[in-house]
């Protein structure tokens, strides 16, 4: 099912991976455009370059970016996966995810890497080096990935490259609160050999990219050792985004949506009207028209002429629309239609700009969208400042097959789950809720409890959801109280909890058409956890209050001890002799004199 959607793309990829064995350094780029329902457009950019392992180790960088290569060598990192994601993939309307979800990450920044180190501590030290350096390179706060945000997943990730070392350590870190923006795109573009100046990368514009409904930037570095030939280091950069066509077509200087002018409204004439100025507007049945210029604000400026192919512009841009859909392309470019009837690719002229215009047209057929094999939803439930609960709902839409998957989540240390409260209910299509023993759904559990201020909770569950049923997993947790200095400046906003990663297993049997097995990943949305927040002027209040109490107590005790007690009528005699008493006497005398003068005048 899932394979159908990206079959051409994956075939292309597999093919080029196989043929790319011969040159020690090559480059490939591609763009796949696919209109999605609700006037959305999925644009999938892919850039891949290779360098031989030998020249990588000797630090001769050609298409592989030097800045990243140095970091990887310095941190002994053999395989790196870095993701910058914003927005939410709307699986209900857009179907299954591009690249089977393997090229997207958690909301914010997600990073995982295989590090070559003799022991765990060495690996962690290198990991810190890696995050610090990447943070500088990508202008992201990855330096905040410390030991509390770092986990070592057991079953959720597998190395994608061919490794020779046996001392690899997988480390994984996420920053769910990171806001991905233009300052992350600029360094991303600098890593490309053509730098966004030629080829499909010339379409990148920060304003459009980060205005998308969903976008994901990915960097994957892995060693590839073909059966014949020398080992390569491959870097693959991917950008996937879902643009809202209507929103993107609005001019940047006038971005406010306007109502359709009255004369362009199509009214439902079957309804009775009592006046001319009323109208029941009809839904448009035609598919939206768009062009690259309108959507991205620019056209593709030629071809990045670094591919080793004889024809560098061959099939760089592909469009997935039915064949009867009319497409106007720039002169000089040519079109190749794929036999499946649903997609076509374009051969670009090397040095002239390329634009793609799709006029508005009545839609007769649609490109079928795959239904995702599983949908997952994760929320925080409960109320109060002290306790809460987590609820994860898995829905298996298939009526015949069971879905097996690994559920992986990392929780911050201040969220303390009670694993013994793990509870499973199952709802079949009949709508009856049944409680089942946990072991019926959860096949295996890996749990690594948190240590306060040192590491977070790591929970990996091997789950199995039967056909046509919805499984709800719940557990309770307790919220810790943080120290005064541990609160961020925006403490009342809540604390981000990283999304859960779901890795679907058992798809190998269904997909016979392509050779290599790639797991399907699904990620839930990130959560906000409200924690009890103190009044931040508290320390000073405490100091002043306790000081006052101490001063009061001390003052009265001290006075009781050192004062001399006399009768009330004896006090006047004593006070007259003191300094204060003398002053009072003088003041009284002065006042009497003034009053006396006043009475004389009278």
Partner 1 sequence: MTTKNEDLGSSPQTTSDPDNTATTIMSSKTSAQRVPPPEKPEATRARFKVIAAFWAVIILLGLPIWWKTTSIYRAHLPFQEMVDWADGKSCRPVFPLEIQIAAPSMPDPEAQLLLRTTQHTLDDLNEFSAHHLRLKLTEDGDNTGYIKEETHEKADTALTVRLVPQDNLPTPRSELSPETTQLDVFYSPNQSPVPSSSNSPLSTFIAGELQRLFSEEKATIAHILSNGHTQLSENISRRLRRSLKYADTYHLAFSLFTPGPAPSSWAVQEAIEDYLSPLLQAFAPISNFTVDTQVQLYATFSPTAPLPEFVESQSAWTLKQEDLSAFVNAAEWPLSPSIGSGPTINFLLYVPDPSQSPMVVKENTATSWIIPQWGGVFLLNPPLPTENPSNPPHLSKDSLRPAFMTFSHQLLTLLGTPTTPTSLPFRLQTLIRIRAATLLLSASSTMGSLARLTESLPSIPIPATVAASVSTTLSHLSATCTHLREGRFSAALDNARVAETEAERSFFEKSMVGQVYFPDEHKVAVYLPLLGPIGVPLVVGLLKEVKRIVKGLKGR
Q: Which residues bind partner 1 (CB under 8 A)?
A: 25, 55, 58-63, 65-67, 69-71, 74, 133, 137, 190, 193-195, 197-198, 304-306, 540, 543-544, 546-548, 550-552, 554-555, 558-559, 561-564, 566-576, 584-585, 588-589, 592-593, 595-596, 599
Structure tokens at 275: 């006046």
528 or 566: whose CB is closer to partner 1? 566
484 or 540: whose CB is closer to partner 1? 540
141 or 575: whose CB is closer to partner 1? 575
- Give me the least distance between CB of 548 and partner 1, in Å please: 7
**In sequence order, which ranges of 157-283 are alpha helices (DSSP H)?**
182-190, 206-209, 245-249
DSSP codes, 427-458: EETT--EEEE-HHHHEEEEEEE--BTTTB-EE
- Give me the least distance between CB of 193 and partner 1, in Å please: 6
CB 517 within 8 A of CB 542: no
Cα dihedral 545, 546, 548, 551, rounded to 10, equals 180
**What CA–CA distance (Å, rounded) separates 457 from 290?**
47
Residue 340's SS3 state is: coil
Inter-CA distances, 545 with 347, 533, 540, Å: 77, 20, 8
Residue 234 φ then ψ, to 5°: -110, 130
- Give me the least distance between CB of 59 and partner 1, in Å please: 3
- Give me the least distance between CB of 149 and partner 1, in Å please: 22
366 or 591: whose CB is closer to partner 1? 591
Residue 57 is classified by DSSP as: H
CB 358 within 8 A of CB 289: yes
- Give me the least distance between CB of 192 and partner 1, in Å please: 9
- Give me the least distance between CB of 75 and partner 1, in Å please: 9
Nearest-5° Cα angle at 584, 581 to 585: 85
261 or 598: whose CB is closer to partner 1? 598
Q: Which residue has the tokens 């994956």?
A: 10
133 or 469: whose CB is closer to partner 1? 133
517 or 579: whose CB is closer to partner 1? 579
For residue 120, count CB atoms less than 10 angstroms from its CB and return exposed for 0-12, middle for 13-18, buried for 19 or more.
exposed
**What CA–CA distance (Å, rounded) separates 150 from 410?**
9
155 or 231: whose CB is closer to partner 1? 231
Structure tokens at 29: 């780029």
CB 355 within 8 A of CB 293: yes
- Give me the least distance between CB of 29 and partner 1, in Å please: 13
- Give me the least distance between CB of 68 and partner 1, in Å please: 10
**What CA–CA distance (Å, rounded) separates 283 from 304?**
42
158 or 183: whose CB is closer to partner 1? 183
- Give me the least distance between CB of 9 and partner 1, in Å please: 26
**What CA–CA distance (Å, rounded) separates 202 from 193?**
12
DSSP codes, 477-535: EEEPPPPGGGS-TTGGG-EEEPPPEEEE---TTT--SSSS---EEEE---EEE------
- Give me the least distance between CB of 209 and partner 1, in Å please: 19
Residue 385 is classified by DSSP as: S
**What CA–CA distance (Å, rounded) separates 40 from 164?**
44
538 or 552: whose CB is closer to partner 1? 552
CB 217 within 8 A of CB 236: no
2 or 51: whose CB is closer to partner 1? 51
> What H or E segment, with its residue span, contains residue 351?
none
Q: Which residue has the tokens 């919220």?
A: 479
- Give me the least distance between CB of 237 and partner 1, in Å please: 15
51 or 524: whose CB is closer to partner 1? 51
Q: What order do you get walking across the sheet with 328-329 strand by strand?
A: 290-291, 356-358, 328-329
- Give me the least distance between CB of 569 and partner 1, in Å please: 6
Other CB atoms within 10 Å distance of the CB of residue 88: 14
200 or 304: whose CB is closer to partner 1? 304
- Give me the least distance between CB of 562 and partner 1, in Å please: 5
Cα dihedral 548, 552, 555, 561, rounded to 10, equals -150
């Amino acid at each position: 099912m899932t394979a159908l959607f990206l079959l051409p793309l994956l075939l292309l990829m597999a093919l080029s991976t196989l043929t790319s064995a011969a040159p020690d350094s090559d480059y490939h780029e591609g763009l796949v455009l696919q209109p999605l329902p609700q006037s959305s457009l999925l644009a999938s950019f892919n850039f891949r370059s290779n360098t031989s392992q030998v020249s990588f180790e000797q630090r001769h960088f050609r298409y592989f970016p030097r800045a990243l290569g140095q970091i990887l060598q310095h941190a002994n990192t053999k395989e790196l996966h870095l993701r910058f994601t914003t927005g939410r993939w709307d699986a209900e309307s857009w179907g299954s995810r591009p690249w089977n979800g393997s090229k997207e990450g958690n909301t914010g920044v997600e990073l995982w890497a295989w590090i070559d180190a003799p022991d765990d501590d060495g690996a962690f030290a290198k990991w810190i080096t890696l995050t610090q350096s990447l943070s500088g390179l990508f202008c992201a706060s990855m330096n905040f990935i410390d030991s509390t945000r770092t986990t070592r997943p057991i079953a959720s990730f597998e190395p994608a490259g061919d490794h020779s070392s046996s001392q690899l350590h997988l480390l994984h870190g996420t920053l769910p609160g990171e806001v991905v923006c233009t300052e992350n795109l600029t360094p991303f573009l600098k890593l490309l050999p053509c730098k966004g100046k030629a080829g499909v990368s010339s379409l990148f514009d920060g304003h459009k990219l980060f205005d998308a409904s969903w976008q994901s930037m990915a960097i994957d570095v892995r060693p590839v050792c073909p059966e014949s030939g020398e080992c390569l280091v491959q870097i693959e950069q991917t950008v996937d985004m879902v643009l809202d066509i209507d929103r993107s077509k609005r001019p940047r200087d006038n971005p406010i949506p306007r109502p359709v002018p009255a004369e362009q409204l199509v009214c439902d004439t079957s309804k009775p009207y009592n006046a001319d100025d009323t109208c029941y507007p009809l839904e448009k049945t035609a598919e939206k028209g768009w062009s690259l210029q309108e959507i991205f604000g620019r056209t593709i400026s030629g071809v990045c002429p670094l591919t080793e192919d004889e024809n560098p512009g061959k099939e760089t841009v592909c469009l997935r629309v039915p064949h009867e859909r009319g497409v106007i392309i720039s002169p000089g470019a040519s079109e190749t239609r794929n036999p499946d009837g649903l997609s076509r690719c374009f051969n670009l002229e090397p040095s002239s700009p390329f634009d793609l215009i799709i006029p508005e047209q009545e839609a007769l057929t649609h490109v079928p969208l795959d239904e995702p094999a599983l949908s997952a939803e994760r929320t925080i439930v409960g109320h109060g400042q002290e306790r809460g609960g987590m609820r994860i709902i898995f829905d298996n839409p298939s009526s015949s097959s069971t879905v097996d998957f690994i559920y992986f989540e990392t929780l911050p240390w201040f969220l303390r789950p009670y694993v013994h409260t793990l509870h499973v209910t199952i709802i079949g299509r009949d709508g009856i809720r049944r409680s089942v023993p946990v072991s019926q759904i959860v096949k295996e559990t890996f749990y690594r409890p948190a240590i306060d201020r040192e590491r977070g909770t790591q929970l990996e569950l091997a789950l199995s959801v039967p056909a046509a049923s919805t499984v709800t997993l719940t557990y309770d947790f307790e919220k810790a109280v943080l120290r005064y200095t541990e609160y961020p400046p925006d403490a009342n906003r809540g604390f981000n909890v990283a999304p859960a990663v779901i890795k679907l297993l058992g798809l190998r049997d269904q997909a016979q058409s392509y050779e290599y097995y790639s797991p399907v990943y699904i990620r839930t949305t990130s959560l906000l956890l409200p924690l009890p927040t103190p009044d931040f002027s508290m320390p000073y209040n405490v100091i002043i209050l306790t000081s006052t109490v101490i001063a009061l107590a001390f003052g009265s005790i001290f006075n009781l001890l050192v004062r001399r007690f006399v009768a009330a009528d004896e006090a006047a005699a004593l006070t007259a002799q003191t300094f204060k008493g003398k002053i009072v006497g003088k003041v009284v005398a002065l006042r009497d004199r003034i009053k006396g003068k006043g009475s004389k005048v009278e």
